[in-house]
Amino acid sequence: MHSSTDTCRVCGKSSGFVFALPLLGAPVGYYECKVCGYLQTESPHWLEKAYEHAINDVDTGIMLRNQVNAGRVTLTLLAYGRLDGRVIDHAGGFGILVRLLRDAGVDARWRDKYCQNLLARGFEADSGPFDLLTAFEVLEHLVDPLAELREMLAVAPIVLVSTELVTTSDTPPPDWWYLGPEHGQHVGFFRYTTLRLIADKLGCSFASDGRSIHIFSRTKVPFLWRRLMGARLIFRLVKQYKLRSKINSDYDLLRAQRNASTSHKN
C-alpha cells in the first residue's frame, strides 16, 4: 500500500499519489505536486540496481541525441559570444559529446562519477574555469535536482540541460515512455513551471524551448539563444567557418603525452 501523499523534492510542498508502476520487479508509487508541477517517484531505494549499467540498454537514441546536442552547445556559445569558451560535460557518459565537440573545434571536457570515459580519454575535467556546463538527459535522474543545479552553477555560469517536459496540466499517463520503469533510472519529471521555480530559487535567468532543451544562466539569456536552438544549418556553417577542429591537435597532444610517459618509465 502506497502513502496518499509525499513531500515534493523540489518545492517541499505536499505531492499527491497518482499511480503505481512495476519498476524493476516491485511496485513504485508516483506523486504529483500541484504547486510546482513536479512528478516524482517515491524515495528511490532501487538505484543501485538501476545503475548496474550506467547507460541503459533501451537508450537507442544516444548517438543521434549527441549529434544534435553538439550543435546546441556550439550555438549556445555563439549566442553568448563565447565560441572560444571552455565547456564541461557533466555526467558525460562514454565521452561521445566531448569527442564530437572537440572534433568540431570546441574546448570540451568530460566528467562522470558513474560511467567510464571511453571516447574522450585525456580530456577529463580539470579545475576550470569553465564558461558552460552541459547536463543532457540528467535532471530526470536526480533525487535532489535543486541542490545538483546549484552545484552545477558553481562550476560554470551557464548551465545547458535537456529533459523532456510534461507539457500539459493533466497527469501524464502511466505508459508515457519517458517514465522509463523498465530501467528505473528516471525518478523525477518536470513541467516548465517546475524549472522556472528552480531558477527563481537559484537567482538565475532561465529560458526553454518548452519541450526538451533548457538553460539556466547567471546573466540574462540572449534572445538569440531561443532562435538558434533549432538551427542545425547554422551549426554546420559555424563549424566550417568559425571553428577549427581539434582532431589533429588532440592527436599530437595525446601522442606527446604517451611518448613522454614511455620515456619516463624507461
> What confidence score (pLDDT) does residue 265 get?
67
pLDDT digits (tens, 9 = 90+) for 221-261: 999 999 999 888 899 999 999 999 999 999 999 999 988 87
Residue in the block written with cell 517514465: 179
pLDDT(200) > 70:
yes
pLDDT averaged over the chain? 95
Residue 6 binned pLDDT confidence (cut-offs 50, 70, 90): very high
pLDDT digits (tens, 9 = 90+) for 125-160: 999 999 999 999 999 999 999 999 999 999 999 999
Helical spans, DSSP H, in 17-106 = 47-50, 62-79, 96-104
In the chain, what are the domain boundaries? 62-164+192-241
> What confidence score (pLDDT) does residue 266 get?
59
Q: For the chain, what's the residue count?
A: 266
Rounded CA-CA distance 91/113 in Å is 7
pLDDT digits (tens, 9 = 90+) for 177-191: 999 999 999 999 999
Sheet holding 26-33, edge to edge: 5-7, 14-23, 26-33, 39-41, 188-189
Which candidate, 218, 203, 223, 222, places its Cα nearest to that of 146? Answer: 203
> What confidence score (pLDDT) does residue 157 get?
98
Rounded CA-CA distance 103/106 in Å is 7
Q: Under DSSP, is residue 181 helix (H, G, I), strand (E, B) or coil?
A: coil
pLDDT digits (tens, 9 = 90+) for 90-130: 999 999 999 999 999 999 999 999 899 999 999 999 999 99
**Residue 57 identity (one-letter amino acid):** D
- What is 62-164+192-241's CATH number, 3.40.140.80, 3.40.50.280, 3.90.550.10, 3.40.50.150? 3.40.50.150
Q: Other C-beta atoms within 10 Å of 265: how many?
A: 6
The percent helix, strand, coil of the chain (3-state, each to 5) is 35, 20, 45
pLDDT(62) > 80:
yes
pLDDT(1) > 80:
no
